[in-house]
Amino acid sequence: MKPLLRAVLILDALLLLAFGLLFLLTPWTSLYNALLLVQTQPALVGQGFGVALIGLAWLALHASIDGSLTSTVAKVVGHVNWLTGVLMLVWLLGLHTPALTGFGQIIAVLTGVVLLVVGLGGVRLSGAVRRREKVRLVEAAAAERADKQAAKDAAKEAANKRDAGRVTAGFPAYRAEPVVGRPVVDPVAEPVMPLTRPVSSVSAVEEPGLTASEREAAAARDDARNAAADAPGAPRPPLHG
């Protein structure tokens, strides 16, 4: 929409330049007579008005190039144009002043209508462009605030990570090292050995180098010892696994 407003500003600049040159040539009587126009009296007022219109045309042309001035200048120039068009229509159609011929009056009325349409169009376009620029500025400000908040959150998270690293760095790190030696065996997996009688209770008959009488005496001793061990209330040797 802004390129369309720039085109309207260029059209305004051309119209203002044309009227400014026409008023600047107010002392040229033969030109006004050929165009069937009424000269401005005194000529100084017409020339001053022409200089003002030429300056406004230059401003409109400059605003069509400079984007920062486009909407503001278009609004001002648009108001000037449509007010000038309304003024011309009121004087020409309502008051019939100045008294122009048929062709001159048609040209003047058409000029007033063109100024009215172009001026109102420029004002409406400038308002729409200004609203869009405000919305764009609000969105840009919101995006900037979101970026700043994201940067703050990232910095806070990084600071928390650094603090956590410093806290954990103050404690020694313990590592489990394998124990070199006999492997640990699950006691459940080990076979259960049956209980045996103590070594001292083994019969001495089986010992080599004994005579028959000695073996009989040893056997008797073993039987007596076994009988005493099996008696109730007798102390029992500890179990060996």
- The residue length of the chain stands at 241
**Same domain as 117, residue 219:** no
Number of domains comprising the chain: 2
**Same domain as 101, residue 13:** yes
Residue at which a domain ends, from 149, 170, 194: 149
User: Is 47 within a domain?
Assistant: yes
Q: If we measure between CA atoms, which residue out of 200, 208, 194 comes closest to residue 228?
A: 200
Distance CA 206, CA 210 (A): 9
Residue 186 neighbours by CB under 8 Å, 6+ apart = none
Phi, psi (degrees; rounded to nearest 5) at 143? -65, -40
User: Is 164 within a domain?
Assistant: no
User: Is 165 within a domain?
Assistant: no
Residue 195's pLDDT band (boundaries 50, 70, 90)?
Answer: very low
pTM over 0.75: no
pLDDT of residue 194: 47
User: Is 188 within a domain?
Assistant: no
Distance CA 186, CA 189 (A): 5
User: Is 100 within a domain?
Assistant: yes
CA dist list (Å): 35 to 38, 87, 174: 9, 21, 105
**Same domain as 130, residue 11:** yes
Is 210's pLDDT higher than 70? Answer: no
Distance CA 1, CA 129 (A): 7
Distance CA 8, CA 61 (A): 10
pLDDT of residue 58: 92
User: Is 84 within a domain?
Assistant: yes
Better-predicted residue by pLDDT, 111 or 103: 111
**Same domain as 29, residue 102:** yes
User: Is 57 within a domain?
Assistant: yes
**Same domain as 212, residue 119:** no
Q: Determine if residue 197 is left, alpha or beta; phi over 0 gives left, psi from -120 to 50 gives alpha, anything else beta.
A: beta
pLDDT of residue 196: 47
- Its domain, for residue 211, covers 203-230
**Same domain as 143, residue 41:** yes
**Same domain as 208, residue 113:** no
**Same domain as 215, residue 130:** no
Residue at which a domain ends, from 105, 134, 149: 149
Is 74's pLDDT higher than 80? Answer: yes
**Same domain as 128, residue 37:** yes
Better-predicted residue by pLDDT, 179 or 56: 56
Residue at which a domain ends, from 82, 115, 149: 149
**Same domain as 106, residue 12:** yes
User: What integer best gives the mean pLDDT of the chain?
Assistant: 76
Residue 179's pLDDT band (boundaries 50, 70, 90)?
Answer: low
**Same domain as 8, residue 122:** yes
User: Is 190 within a domain?
Assistant: no
**Same domain as 11, residue 103:** yes
Distance CA 160, CA 162 (A): 5
